């Protein structure tokens, strides 16, 4: 069996000012459509790029919680800002989403400050780029540390013996850093897929080390072939340098296409990039309420499948299994 | 009998149950904290019984610092409540969804946005229970070197509530206050019910003032009719100063019923739960509410020691101490007594006896409704819904069907026309 590409769909739920955003029913219909097509995961972002005002009805993490109850297999990632949440609260929210979804949740964290966002969170001066980078790296370490605070077999539920969990299978984090101090542990049980999936987006070159060290998925903008290939190889090299299996980091390339693009052309372009190992897959950027997803599912996907480049359906039940990421006890 | 003469009911969902030993009960669903289907079923049960709302407690940390004690309770793990209620929002259609969130460890812009999103997901059924967080265990997860003094926490909470309600009402542009600054209005559309419902639980003097000024709903703990009545009259009396009518706030004390077909069965059921409480767990729970770490040093069969002023939960502490003195209870007795309902009002009896007790407080002007705290789940919520609710309906004290679609409509609250008072 050949190497298969990983496919994410970013659903844009934000509408331009003056338009009503898509309803829950409309968004859920799109996500179920993507699930029927066997897409690895959808990524929900609730803000417009560049800090423009949107009229989305929903905040991303609450929407993902609701979507988890009306889907069964597809992975669900929410974008959530490190400026808007304290790390303990964010770690809890995603740990909880992962249990609600039976192991299909992930956090899309961005390495880029949203313009003006800090001004709504009592930080009118924002952060310098250097501070923001160090702060985000520390933040991610805390969140992943909290996700690992409970061993998989910590909960014993022994009614007769009076022991709910094994005390020694829960660990304090005791983090004291430059920006945060967090004692832990999390008060949410361990994830059914070990930890929620971490996707990083908005990277620039100085973020590559952080990404290679911590991310399960890296989302990168489309680039000319040579640049994309160099970037991909560099990230994999750095993953290996930090002691990880290079295949434990999936590099996905952001792509969007218009209704005018022929499915065969789109599929061909994706196949080229994938087969020459400039990426492990793609993140298709689509509006949540449109026929664009149908166009992709009915036009492009069959082409990719004919070429043996995308699997037919889901083989596992958790997101890590869709992504081919190792989990103790699963697989 | 009109809706305004009927009591409001909340279903207070908490882990395996409100009784500290609930999880050990043979019929308790022990994996509640990792089972979303269990919560969906509880929500549907409460909705079928026409409860006004589901209510979720919250703390951003463990409940108990001593890990050995914590591991003998089910409260160290559970769902984060905003994600939980967001999931329940699309699996229910009428019942209100109220979650606790702290003003000490959140920012108003993010909290206002998240609850407004829950409000949109649920079609106008969301509520926020404001707490200031009294636990040093939580503080240690947020870089704090120590718990902030009670008065400072409430000053921050007052500003927080003002900013949140302002945002829900379309403003403010450019808040720049003592604790918070916010530049933009929210980027989500206005709430389907005007604004999410504001709930508060603090019962101290500053807590009451904050509630009188901003709350739509107040959750409280009161053991006796006199305590409940005194709190009710005091809080409603404070509202005129903020230009509000007494009926603009619904006061709902917590009640921990243990109900069965016969009184003997109810007593047996309660005793069975009490027997499951280990002494060290009961004492630890009590000491955490009293904010004294070394209660275990005192003889367990002796009286409660004199307590220093604490920065923790001042009003609840006073309640517990007063009860212990009044009844001449030992630490062990108080711990067991307290463990079952955490200082809330407990009724053990038949449906008619429970309904009598609720009716007395409701008609006596000591409560607008009750936040029901079942001992264990799902059995005790089922028992309340199948035994007590029909009895209340028969007496005309509780609705037989929802009158409206939003939580504000269920509670008989006006759509908020008021604006936050300026500092």
pLDDT digits (tens, 9 = 90+) for B353-393: 999 999 999 999 999 999 999 999 999 999 999 999 999 99
- Asked if residue A53 lies in contact with residue A19, where contact means CB atoms within 8 angstroms, the answer is no
Q: Same structural domain for residues B132 and B161?
A: yes
- Structure confidence at residue A70 (pLDDT): 98
- Residue B143 inside a domain? The answer is yes
Nearest to B207 by CA among B315, B72, B279, B363: B315
Q: Cβ separation of A66 and B60 shorter than 8 Å?
A: no
Q: Band the pLDDT of B420: cuts 50, 70, 90.
A: very low
Q: Same structural domain for residues B32 and B99?
A: yes
- Determine the 3-state secondary structure of B350 from DSSP: coil
Query: Does A271 have pLDDT greater than 90?
Result: yes
Query: Does A239 have pLDDT greater than 80?
Result: yes
DSSP A20: P
Q: Cβ separation of B87 and A69 shorter than 8 Å?
A: yes
Sign of the CA dihedral with B252 first, then B256, B261, and B263 last: negative
Tell the CATH topology of A6-121+194-322. TIM Barrel (3.20.20)
Q: How many CB atoms lie within 10 A of CB B145?
A: 8
B80: which 2 tokens?
């984060």
Integer Cα distance of A133 and A126 in angstroms: 12
For a pLDDT cut of 90, what percent of chain B falls above it?
69
Smallest CA–CA distance, residue A192 to chain B, in Å, is: 10
Provide the domain limits for residue B391: 3-260+344-410
Which residues of chain B from 268 to 307 reach within 8 Å of chain A, CB to CB? 276, 278
- Structure confidence at residue B354 (pLDDT): 98
Q: Band the pLDDT of A328: cuts 50, 70, 90.
A: low
DSSP B108: H
Q: Which helix (H) or strand (E) holds B290?
A: helix B279-290
Q: Same structural domain for residues B93 and B171?
A: yes
Q: Give the residue-averaged pLDDT of A294-309.
A: 95
- Residue B308 inside a domain? The answer is yes
Q: Which helix (H) or strand (E) holds B371?
A: strand B369-372
Identify which has the larger pLDDT, B422 or A165.
A165
Distances (CA, A) of B260 to B334, B362, B379, B388: 25, 22, 11, 9
Q: What is the mean pLDDT of chain A?
A: 93
Q: Band the pLDDT of B311: cuts 50, 70, 90.
A: low
Residue B66 forms contact with A (CB below 8 Å): no
Identify which has the larger pLDDT, A329 or A176.
A176
Query: Does B320 have pLDDT greater than 80?
Result: no
- Asked if residue B157 lies in contact with residue B198, where contact means CB atoms within 8 angstroms, the answer is no
Integer Cα distance of B96 and B412 in angstroms: 13
Reported ipTM exceeds the 0.90 cut: yes
Highest mean pLDDT among A48-57, A254-263, B334-343 belongs to A254-263
- Residue B420 inside a domain? The answer is no
Contact residues, chain A, for B102 at CB < 8 Å? none
- Structure confidence at residue B421 (pLDDT): 38
Nearest to B201 by CA among B190, B189, B216, B181: B216
- Residue B416 inside a domain? The answer is no
Q: Same structural domain for residues B76 and B8?
A: yes
- Structure confidence at residue A331 (pLDDT): 37
Identify which has the larger pLDDT, B64 or A274.
A274
Q: Same structural domain for residues B201 and B224?
A: yes
Q: Same structural domain for residues B200 and B325?
A: no
Which residues of chain B from 17 to 36 reach within 8 Å of chain A, CB to CB? 23-26, 28, 30-31, 33-34, 36
Query: Does B395 have pLDDT greater than 80?
Result: yes
- Asked if residue B172 lies in contact with residue B192, where contact means CB atoms within 8 angstroms, the answer is no
- Structure confidence at residue B1 (pLDDT): 43
Identify which has the larger pLDDT, B154 or B81.
B81
Q: Same structural domain for residues B271 and B252?
A: no
Largest CA distance in chain A: 66
Q: Same structural domain for residues B76 and B149?
A: yes
Integer Cα distance of A44 and A59 in angstroms: 9
Q: Band the pLDDT of A53: cuts 50, 70, 90.
A: low
- Asked if residue A62 lies in contact with residue A100, where contact means CB atoms within 8 angstroms, the answer is no
Distances (CA, A) of A234 to A1, A215, A241, A302, B194: 26, 14, 10, 32, 52
Contact residues, chain A, for B101 at CB < 8 Å? none
Asked which of B309, B338, B367 is the last residue of a domain, the reply is B338
E strand segments, A195-280: 197-201, 217-220, 250-255
- Structure confidence at residue B58 (pLDDT): 94
Contact residues, chain A, for B143 at CB < 8 Å? 180-182
DSSP B390: H
- Residue B419 inside a domain? The answer is no
B303: which 2 tokens?
């009286």
Q: Same structural domain for residues B332 and B368?
A: no
Q: Give the residue-averaged pLDDT of B273-278.
A: 89
- Structure confidence at residue B146 (pLDDT): 60
Smallest CA–CA distance, residue A3 to chain B, in Å, is: 35
Q: How many CB atoms lie within 10 A of CB B28?
A: 25
For a pLDDT cut of 70, what percent of chain B falls above it?
93
Q: Give the residue-averaged pLDDT of B178-204.
A: 92
- Determine the 3-state secondary structure of B129 from DSSP: strand
Identify which has the larger pLDDT, A319 or A20.
A319
Nearest to A91 by CA among A116, A48, A52, A61: A61
Q: Same structural domain for residues B57 and B119?
A: yes
- Structure confidence at residue A52 (pLDDT): 66
- Structure confidence at residue A277 (pLDDT): 95
Q: Give the residue-averaged pLDDT of B243-250.
A: 96
Q: What is the mean pLDDT of chain B?
A: 90
Contact residues, chain A, for B24 at CB < 8 Å? 159-160, 162
Q: What are phi and psi of B210, to 5 degrees?
A: -65, -40
- Asked if residue B283 lies in contact with residue B331, where contact means CB atoms within 8 angstroms, the answer is yes
Cis peptide before A201 (omega within 30 of 0): no
Helices B225-238 & B205-214 angle (0-180, nearest 10): 60
**What is the tally of structural domains in chain B?**
2
């Amino acid at each position: 069996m050949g190497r298969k590409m990983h496919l994410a769909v970013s659903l844009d739920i934000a509408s331009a000012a003056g338009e009503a955003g898509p309803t829950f029913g409309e968004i859920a219909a799109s996500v179920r459509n993507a699930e029927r097509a066997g897409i690895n995961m959808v990524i929900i972002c609730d803000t417009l790029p560049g800090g423009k005002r949107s009229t989305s009805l929903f905040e991303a993490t609450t929407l993902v919680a609701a979507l988890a109850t009306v889907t069964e297999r597809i992975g669900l990632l929410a974008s959530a800002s490190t400026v808007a949440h304290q790390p303990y609260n964010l770690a809890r929210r995603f740990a909880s989403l992962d249990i609600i979804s039976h192991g299909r949740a992930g956090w899309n964290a961005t390495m880029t400050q949203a313009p003006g966002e800090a001004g709504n969170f009592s930080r009118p001066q924002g952060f310098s780029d250097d501070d923001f980078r160090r702060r985000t790296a520390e933040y991610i370490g805390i969140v992943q540390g909290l996700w690992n605070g409970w061993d998989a077999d910590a909960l014993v539920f022994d009614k007769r013996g009076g022991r709910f969990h094994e005390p020694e299978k829960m660990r304090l984090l005791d983090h004291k850093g430059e920006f945060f101090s967090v004692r832990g542990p999390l008060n949410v049980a361990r994830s059914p897929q070990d930890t929620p999936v971490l996707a990083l987006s908005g990277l620039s070159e100085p973020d590559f080390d952080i990404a290679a060290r911590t991310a399960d998925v890296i989302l990168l903008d489309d680039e000319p072939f040579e640049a994309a290939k160099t970037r991909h190889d560099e990230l994999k090299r750095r993953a290996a340098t930090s002691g990880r299996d290079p295949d434990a980091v999936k590099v996905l390339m952001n792509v969007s296409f218009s209704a005018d693009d022929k499915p065969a052309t789109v599929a061909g372009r994706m196949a080229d990039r994938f087969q020459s190992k400039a990426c492990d897959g793609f993140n298709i950027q689509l509006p949540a309420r449109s026929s664009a997803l149908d166009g992709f599912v009915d036009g492009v996907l069959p082409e990719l499948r004919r070429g043996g480049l995308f699997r037919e359906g889901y083989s596992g039940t958790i997101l890590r299994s869709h992504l081919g990421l190792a989990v103790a006890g699963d697989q | 009998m009109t809706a305004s003469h009927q009591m409001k009911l909340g279903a207070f969902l908490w882990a395996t149950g409100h009784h500290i030993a609930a999880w050990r009960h043979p019929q308790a669903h022990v994996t509640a904290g990792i089972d979303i289907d269990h919560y969906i079923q509880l929500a549907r049960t409460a909705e079928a019984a026409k409860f006004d709302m589901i209510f979720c407690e919250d703390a951003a940390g463990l409940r108990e610092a001593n890990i050995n004690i914590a591991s003998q309770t089910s409260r160290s793990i559970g769902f984060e409540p905003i994600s939980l209620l967001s999931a329940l929002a699309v699996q229910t259609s009428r019942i209100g969804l109220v979650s606790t969130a702290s003003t000490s460890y959140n920012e108003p812009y993010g909290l206002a946005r998240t609850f407004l999103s829950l409000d949109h997901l649920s079609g106008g059924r969301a509520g926020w229970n404001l707490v200031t967080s009294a636990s040093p265990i939580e503080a240690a997860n947020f870089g704090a070197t120590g718990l902030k003094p009670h008065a400072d926490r409430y000053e921050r909470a007052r500003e927080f509530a003002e900013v949140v309600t302002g945002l829900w009402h379309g403003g403010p542009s450019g808040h720049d206050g003592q604790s918070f600054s916010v530049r933009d209005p929210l980027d989500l559309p206005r709430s389907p019910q005007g604004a999410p419902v504001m709930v508060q639980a603090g019962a101290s003097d500053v807590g009451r003032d904050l509630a009188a000024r901003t709350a739509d709903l107040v959750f409280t703990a009161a053991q006796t009719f006199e305590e409940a009545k005194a709190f009710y009259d005091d809080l409603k009396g404070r509202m005129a100063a903020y230009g509000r009518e007494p009926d603009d706030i619904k006061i709902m004390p917590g009640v921990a019923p243990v109900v069965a077909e016969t009184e003997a069965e109810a007593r047996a059921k309660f005793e069975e739960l009490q027997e499951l409480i280990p002494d060290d767990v009961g004492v630890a729970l009590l000491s955490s509410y009293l904010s004294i770490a070394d209660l275990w040093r005192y003889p367990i069969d002796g009286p409660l020691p004199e307590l220093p002023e604490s920065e923790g939960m001042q009003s609840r502490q006073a309640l517990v101490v007063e009860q212990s003195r009044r009844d001449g209870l030992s630490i062990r007795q108080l711990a067991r007594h307290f463990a079952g309902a955490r200082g809330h009002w407990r009724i053990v009896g038949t449906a008619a006896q429970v309904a009598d007790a609720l009716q007395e407080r409701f008609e006596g002007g000591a409560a607008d409704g009750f936040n029901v705290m079942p001992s264990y789940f799902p059995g005790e919520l089922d028992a309340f819904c199948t035994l007590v609710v029909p009895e209340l309906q028969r007496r005309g004290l509780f609705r037989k069907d929802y009158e409206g679609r939003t939580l504000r409509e269920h509670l008989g609250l006006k759509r908020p026309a008021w604006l936050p008072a300026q500092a």
